[in-house]
A and B are shown apart, each in its own frame.
Chain A
Amino acid sequence: MQTHQYDVVIVGAGGAGMRAALEASGEARTAVISKLYPTRSHTGAAQGGMAAALANVEEDNWEWHTFDTVKGGDYLVDQDAAEILAKEAIDSVLDLEKMGLPFNRTPEGRIDQRRFGGHTREHGQAAVRRACYAADRTGHMILQTLYQNCVKQDVEFYNEFYVLDLITDHDLTTEDIEDGAEVNATGVVAYDLASGEIHVFQAKAIIFATGGAGKIFKTTSNAHTLTGDGMALAYRRGLPLEDMEFFQFHPTGLAGLGILLSEAARGEGGILRNSEGERFMERYAPTIKDLAPRDIVARSMANEVREGRGAGPNKDYVLLDLTHLEPAHIDAKLPDITEFARTYLGIEPYTEPVPVYPTAHYAMGGVPTNVAGEVLRDSHNVVKGLYAAGEVACVSVHGSNRLGTNSLLDINVFGKRAGRSAAAYAKTVERHPDLPEHPTARVEAQLSEMRDRPEGERVADVRRALQETMDANAQVFRTGESLNEALADIRELQKRYRNVSVQDKGKLFNTDLLEAIELGFLLDIAEVTVVAALNRKESRGGHYREDFPNRDDANYMLHTMAYRRPTSAPDAGDGHVPGYFDHVEDFGDYKVVLGSKPVTQTRYEPMERKY
């Protein structure tokens, strides 16, 4: 075992992690720990753009952007956070340009902007050009630019190190901690993939920037490595997860594969059609049609398929039509995604429409934070020294449905904020808080148990079963019945997980072992997602309950806070609302207790959401 001491330790080297590192590393001794090489992070797969009301090509302002974000999130957005997001968007984009990001340019040489779903002028009058972009590889360019600047600043990285535990000075899972009492995060335990060695990183401040958990679903745009590690570690250590029932299904995944085709395709004029050739979005969103927010478009597509107007031999997808666009325009603005269609489906988008179907894309929920990036341990108390930013976090700027181009924005705005907050806090801490006597005990026990179990079930079988039940029962359309089915499956799979074994028993680069550990994270995230979805008996944003098809502000205008607790703990979570947020699920060894957190509303009253 090796021990390291840093002022700030950042877990994850995607956009949020590296943006935080650029702020923190100049101020405090900083290390970035990442399970991948930084340029492999999934920020690089983001395509279409990053929203900011630069008004470079037409009139726009941050207030409109705030409104669109709040409305897009079906009013579950914390409006103070959304306002920060929209205001600071402008400097965030300019920061990136100054760091060297090669944005596409207008004829005047300014950063070019294009349309994207849900972004409008004058509070919904018409689509507005707000997305700053670099062809259809904006995320790639952001990731590269941030890494380049980390190289420039000589940021210290620990690559291919998996963080497997979070150390705090109180056990939040069992101790009854008083309101206002101080709880500190003191370090993380990491596993070096190359050597199999355990490392302890003692830190004054820790930032989680570990990304999403799309691999709980079978059809997903997410990387194999997006297994919810940071969310699951926080959850296991007794921290709540917020709004996990809200998962975004991106409308245009390549049918059958889930590979993302950017919304920019529709921003540039692409049209969704059903088997009859009809532009069906005209029926669902008469004003902005194909550029309605993702939850609405995904649901509309799924509905077309359900009503028998799907295309293809099984009538189970719809078509993204770009054939009316000039090939030169497609090549200039959408080169990567059209190549995906050619490579993976053998389809030529110049002349043929592309089969698409919704694909699991983004977790709106996550580890709750305030606008400074500090992690909350309940509805209002923070954990000192612990921060989170990006998809792992829930601040909440996305509410129940994120607008396209707001996540590349989120990682930059809140990555920067978390990096600054963490470095500033670390400077106020004189000496590192003590670590417990055996900080690695839990991780070592977990790894040796998994590695030494002589035989058992295959990891892949349990994972596949999980992903299949999530796709079948907790996707675009949900009912109490389907969610109960998913929950029953997850309970069973949690049991089966205790009997999985790995074939690779070695120490060196044992990805077999790490896939098994990641499966444990996925199961926990699926569990909390489904429990929260069962509890929310309304339809809002990305969470659509066919048995409760309407939004119910009277009872559910609240953030869900899910806690894992021992079975002996009280059933009422913090922010428990009798009859609504008091759902409890017992899993034998522990239970999932739900509480709530108020939604911050500033200037926008909830309205019916029409586009």
Chain B
Amino acid sequence: MTAVLENPATESPKPEAGAVSTFDVTLRVRRYNPESEHGEESVWDEFTVTAHGTDRVLDALHKIKWEQDGSLTFRRSCAHGVCGSDAMRINGRNRLACKTLLKDVNPDKPITVEPIKGLPVIKDLVVDMEPFFASYREIMPFLITSGNEPSRERLQSAEDRERFDDTTKCILCAACTSSCPVFWTDGQYFGPAAIVNAHRFIFDSRDEGATQRLEILNDKEGVWRCRTTFNCTEACPRGIEVTKAIQEVKRAMITRAF
């Protein structure tokens, strides 16, 4: 048997027992499919679906794909905000479709859904993630140590562990990087996500590769391109203080303290 929860997320008075409140919502989706009649041109498509109070944008996209147009294409996997597959631009803001409740993005008006910006679109909401991961790989996103390995674990104080806790939360969804106006105009820029992952190691007391990473990020396409617009912090579905992390990396570059 399956527990049914009727609309618990609304703040309005709870509906009668057993009643499930539903509403209609329209999604305006930016479509692109080089195999279609539109060729290289992207077009807007509108779909209306019936949704429940706890439904997320991903549920609405699934309803469209499963009931109306099977060709609507997007990535998704875990559907609860931990795998990072379904970052997209919803009403002009980068979010995870599986973490955005329809009721929170004003379902009275059409909700616009577009692919994240700054990465080549492959089909509909799917972009080529390779350039994004290439930047990530460049900042040496792994623990660098020298000397013999200890027989037990390396010791690390709870305070030292806490120092980089925030940036360990990154799920590489690209919501931050693809919200950055610098990245939109300059695809060479490492982007916030790569810097966040560099931060995660630079400030890890066990790591000895900070100097190398700071050297990489001192590049003309590195941290100095950041204009502190805070789009990345706002976009992060994991609540990471991305801009602050970038600032900390900048400061480490000047003070060499980390």
Contacts and interface: CB of A to CB of B under 8 A. Distances in A.
A148 B71 contact: no
Interface of B is mostly: loop
Given A224-B76, A317-B5, A509-B73, A40 B83 contact: yes
A506 B33 contact: yes
Interface string A305-344: 1000000111011000000000000000000100110011
A355 B7 CA distance: 13
Contact of A458 (B66, B79, B80): B66
Contacts of B31: none
A15 to B, nearest CB: 13
Interface in B22-63: 33-36, 54
A276 interface: no
Interface stretch (A67-75, A106-114, A183-191, A567-575): A106-114
B257 interface: no
Contact of B18 (A103, A149, A314, A343): A314
Given A40-B77, A104-B161, A459-B66, A94 B82 contact: no
A127 B154 CA distance: 27
A45 B204 CA distance: 23
Contact of B5 (A45, A104, A257, A460): A257
B153 A97 contact: yes
B126 to A, nearest CB: 6
B69 A503 contact: yes
A137 B169 contact: yes
A317 B3 contact: yes
A256 B83 contact: no
A507 B35 contact: yes
Contacts, number: 201
Contacts of A317: 3, 5
Interface residues of A, number: 78
Nearest to A467: B2
A508 B71 CA distance: 11
Interface stretch (B9-17, B178-186, B217-225, B248-256): B9-17
Given A255-B5, A346-B10, A506-B33, A460 B54 contact: no
Given A39-B84, A105-B161, A148 B142 contact: yes
B33 A508 contact: yes
Contact of B11 (A106, A152, A336, A346): A346
B143 A100 contact: yes
Contact of A107 (B66, B158, B206): B158
Nearest to A151: B137
A256 B80 contact: no
A18 to B, nearest CB: 13
A480 interface: no
Nearest to A258: B2
B5 A355 contact: yes
B168 A36 contact: no
B105 interface: no
B82 A503 contact: no
A328 to B, nearest CB: 13
A357 B170 CA distance: 29
Contacts of A103: 153, 161
A345 B5 contact: yes
B70 A503 contact: yes
A113 B166 CA distance: 21
A443 interface: no
Contact of B4 (A109, A302, A314, A503): A314
Given A40-B85, A110-B155, A340 B80 contact: yes
Interface string A509-548: 1111000000000000000000000000000000000000
Interface of B: 1-6, 8-11, 14, 16-18, 33-36, 54, 65-67, 69-71, 73-74, 76-85, 99, 101, 122-123, 126, 129, 133, 137, 140-143, 149-150, 152-158, 161, 164-165, 168-172, 201, 204, 206-207, 239
Interface of A: 36-37, 39-42, 44-45, 93-94, 97-100, 102-111, 134-135, 137, 140-141, 144, 148-149, 151-152, 194, 218-219, 223-225, 255-257, 259-260, 302, 305, 312-314, 316-317, 336, 339-340, 343-347, 355, 357, 458-460, 471-472, 475, 502-504, 506-512
19 contacts: A39-B172, A42-B77, A45-B82, A151-B137, A151-B141, A223-B79, A224-B77, A224-B79, A225-B77, A255-B3, A256-B8, A260-B80, A317-B5, A344-B101, A345-B54, A355-B5, A459-B70, A460-B65, A511-B65
**9 closest residue pairs by CB, A with B:** A100-B143, A256-B5, A460-B66, A503-B70, A313-B17, A109-B155, A346-B9, A357-B3, A504-B71
